[in-house]
Structure 1
Amino acid sequence: KEETMTGAILSKISDDFLECTICLEPFKDPRVLPCLHTFCEGCLKKFVAQDKVKNKFSCPTCRTETVLPKGG
């Protein structure tokens, strides 16, 4: 029984690492920020578009500021 519980926990951890915390779906075109948090490219674009400052944004998870490269 303990093996089953361990397997379930490992599966949950693996799933969490493959899931965007914005849309809660498996990553689509994943993008890794300098803080090492990962999001879908589309989710990041929508998130950045909401910000008033166009050349930088804060990570949705840890709020570390990220400067956008030229061209986005």
Structure 2
Amino acid sequence: MAEAIITQISDDFLECTICLEPYKDPKILPCLHTFCKGCLEKFVAQQSEGKDDKFPCPTCRTETELP
């Protein structure tokens, strides 16, 4: 029982909240949320059209500048 809970918690912390898969080339934003590099690139492309190289974090919406 305890082992299943630990596995679930571990999986939740190692899973991208965009694709819901284990991280692939994880990238950490200044707000400390983490996403797959590819997922973040797609998200930024959709969100930053015509903006000043800024996008909202997919989790907390903190305005973030492109690196």
TM-score if structure 2 supplies the norm length? 0.89
| 1:24 alignment partner, SS class | coil
Between the aligned partners of 2:52 and 2:14, the Cα distance in structure 1 is: 28
Q: Over alpha carbons, which structure has the higher Rg?
A: 1
User: Aligned partners of 2:65 and 2:52: how far apart in 1?
Assistant: 9
Q: Structure 1 54/29 Cα, relative in aligned 2: closer, same or farther at 3 Å?
A: farther
Give the Cα separation in 2 of the matches to 1:8 and 1:57.
36
Runs of 5+ consecutive residues of structure 1 not aligned to the other structure: none
Aligned residues: 65
Stretches of structure 2 that go unaligned for 5 or more consecutive residues are none
Q: Which portions of structure 1, spanning 4 or more consecutive aligned residues, are displaced by more than 2 angstroms?
A: none
CA RMSD of aligned residues (A): 1.0
